[in-house]
Chain A
Amino acid sequence: MDFIFLVFSSFSLLADPVNFTYVILGFVIGTIFAAIPGLTATLAMALLLPLTYSLSVETALMACASIYMAGMCGGSITATTINIPGAPSSMMTALDGYPMQLQGKGAQALGHAALGSMFGGAVGALLLIAVAPFVAELSLLVKTTGKFSLLAFALIVVVIAQRGRIPQAGLAACIGLMLATVGLDAMEPITRFTYGYSSLTAGIDLMPVIIGTFAIAEVLTQASARTDISAATAAADKVKIRRRDFLPPLSDIRKIGFGCYFKSCLIGYFVGTLPGAGGSMGSFLAYTEAVRTSDEPETFGKGNPKGIAASESANNAVCGGAMVPMLTFGIPGDPITAIMLGVLVINGIQPGPQLMADQAGLIAPMLAALLFSAVVLIPLTLWLIGPYFIKIVSVRKDVLYAVIALLAVVGSYVATYSTFQMFMALGMGVLAFYLRRNGFPVITMLLGYILGPNLEEFLRRSLALSNGDPTTFFTNPDSLFFVALTLVFVYFLVLRKPTKVPAVIKAK
């Protein structure tokens, strides 16, 4: 209960002009990056990471929270108006948003998307605020063997969640784990895989890994693809959005029903708690559920606002869910929470079970900013600048990518003032680019890199405590729980046949 009061008292920090400016700026930047096809809020966050050195941790985390929330709803703008989802999490929104646009109800579709996002973001944030302290207390009960099993569970789930490309995900996770083993051993004074380079003794820094993986790799991907945006620009020029049309009719909202909004929020929230699942899976499952339980499933894909509401409620609720494992166990649920974890690590804060107990004062403002972004900034941004957002797709790509590359490369210099980190970021960028190009999910590499050091340490400590007896992982109740949970996920994600996808989604 104390934590809930702390979060609500943290709203006063938003009255500070510096915090307020960064939260607003973060939200606007997040929305712009999410709205432009090819760019993501993850990229915006990666570019912001070097700047967190000069900000207070609270301010940096508050800005991250608003970028995260904006990133989940910003993609719906282009998904609805020109049928090009700005972010993967808005793919399902396009299924009904664009047909509404064709029917001349584009602004109304955006209003439905904003309402769904607002509801989903708020429910997700409230659930996070209510649940996280209890999960944090429970996490304190997990001992060394249980911690190893939990980390192994997270890594295995993120690999097997990549259905159809599990070997690729497994190899990417191994590459991440390899990167994590470079440098000084955590338990003995031995350096590994440094090949004589003293710069590698401290290991590979998180900053170049994140900047390389998300910023430089993105620039290389865009350079390689050279997508023709003239069609998108021409389509955007034709779109006319009037502010007064944003408000969705009450009859539509009644028809969608509170149950649909709330169920989609719960789906999104729980999907968010799973490592590697993310907003796209949340919105996909919520949309599928909305179609399955609808009395008129044939209307989906033809401009049914319920599809937009389900998709957007779910993907914004993912924000709250994904932060639960990050804050309580130090396990990021998706790339954005991985970068948030980076902000904590850069500032010398160790994420994990003790975080909520020791640093609640730092975490509470971030959750307040998350809730503020959902309830106030989503509708306000749409109302104030919604009619102009569609023009974002017309922005010059040559200038945009030159700016991103400059910020990324100079940003990687900021951490240590050494060009070595810049080369490291370039190397990571090239690696991530080729992984992406060959169908390897980079999130599994990132999770392997982030979880690797603790995974190794807990494995060695567990076996040292049990005199080398590997059955310790099955005889300790906390460890056994996570082993059983892993088997459950393996059954549902690998062994069991996938559930039937509604015809409307298949067709699209």
Chain B
Amino acid sequence: MLLNRQMIFLYVTLAVSVGYLVTALSLGAPITESGLTPAFFPILVGSAAIVFCSVLIVQALRAEPETAPANQTRSYTHVWVVVAIFFYILAFKPMGYFLSSGLFVFALILLFSKFEKLVFKAIISIAIVGVAFVMFQQLFGVRLPTLWG
């Protein structure tokens, strides 16, 4: 099968490896009279990565296609977790630790559980954020961004 999740991952890795090798080649000649240059090792690594990628792609193309059970539903929760972490990092400094972390923890609890008992989950989120703040700021002396400076 030319396109499944594993093949897409391998194609992306191959593309990144090729891009890495092209950038390495643009660093200059790998060997000069004075010895190996900063381009030598990346060229070696990039080439090895392309070889491994090619082997894996050929192996995957030769392998029997796996048929997934018809009733298997795909979970995309991990994608939403990535999105939540991304927006949390964006909001971390502008919104301050408390507000951004509170919303983040609440969102994750909802993602890992059912959409019910929202008040209880909000209280748990506040408690977690509070305990983590005490741990980081008071116990370990880490300065976390807050709206009051």
Contacts and interface: CB of A to CB of B under 8 A. Distances in A.
Interface of A: 50-51, 53-54, 167-168, 170-171, 174-175, 177-178, 181, 185, 187-188, 190, 192-193, 216, 219-226, 396-399, 401-403, 405-407, 409-410, 413-414, 417, 419, 422-423, 426, 429-430, 433-434, 437-438, 455-456, 459-460, 463-464, 468
From DSSP, what is the main secondary structure of chain B's interface residues?
Answer: helix
Given A175-B49, A190-B27, A460-B35, A402 B42 contact: no
A174 B13 CA distance: 11
B103 to A, nearest CB: 11
B93 A438 contact: no
A401 B20 contact: no
A223 B129 contact: no
A438 B121 CA distance: 34
B136 A410 contact: yes
Contact of B38 (A177, A192, A225): A192
8 contacts: A53-B142, A174-B48, A177-B45, A402-B109, A410-B97, A413-B92, A419-B90, A437-B9
Nearest to B106: A402
B113 interface: yes
B89 A170 contact: no
Contacts of A399: 109, 124, 128
B105 A406 contact: yes
A426 B85 contact: yes
B112 A223 contact: yes
Given A167-B56, A171-B52, A406-B129, A223 B113 contact: no
A223 B113 CA distance: 10
B27 A192 contact: yes
Contact of B112 (A221, A401, A406): A401
Contact of B42 (A181, A397, A433): A181
Nearest to B86: A426
Nearest to A171: B52
A171 B49 contact: yes
Contacts of B142: 50, 53-54, 414
Interface string B18-57: 0010011001000100111110111001101100110110
Contact of A226 (B46, B75, B89): B75
A430 B82 contact: yes
Contacts of B143: 417
Which 7 pairs show the lowest CB-CB distances between chains A and B?
A398-B112, A174-B49, A398-B113, A171-B52, A402-B108, A54-B140, A224-B78
B88 A409 contact: yes
A314 to B, nearest CB: 32
A18 to B, nearest CB: 12
A398 B109 contact: yes
Most buried by A among B13, B31, B86: B13
Given A402-B128, A426-B82, 4 more contacts: A170-B52, A397-B112, A402-B108, A417-B143
B126 to A, nearest CB: 12
B100 to A, nearest CB: 10
A50 B142 CA distance: 10
Contacts of A426: 82, 85-86, 89
Given A53-B140, A167-B52, A422-B89, A193 B42 contact: yes
A187 B45 contact: no
Contacts of A181: 41-42, 45
B89 A409 contact: yes
Contacts of B141: 54
B118 interface: no
Nearest to A195: B23
B137 to A, nearest CB: 10
A468 B38 contact: no
Nearest to A408: B85
A438 B45 CA distance: 21
A53 B141 CA distance: 9
A423 B89 contact: yes
For A175, A402, A455, the residue with the greatest tally of chain B CB atoms inside 10 Å of its CB is: A402
B81 A219 contact: yes
A145 B5 CA distance: 42
Contact of A174 (B24, B45, B81, B129): B45
A223 B5 CA distance: 17
B59 interface: yes
Contact of B75 (A177, A224, A406, A410): A224
B6 interface: yes
Contacts of A434: 9
A223 B78 contact: yes
Contacts of B112: 222-223, 397-398, 401-402
B53 A171 contact: yes
Contact of A433 (B17, B78, B121): B78
Contacts of A187: 38
B56 A419 contact: no
Contact of A402 (B36, B80, B86, B125): B125
A50 to B, nearest CB: 8
Given A410-B132, A426-B86, A456 B41 contact: yes
Contacts of A51: 140
Contacts of A433: 78
B36 A178 contact: no
Given A223-B78, A410-B136, A464-B35, A167 B41 contact: no
A171 B101 CA distance: 36
Nearest to B59: A167
A216 B132 contact: no
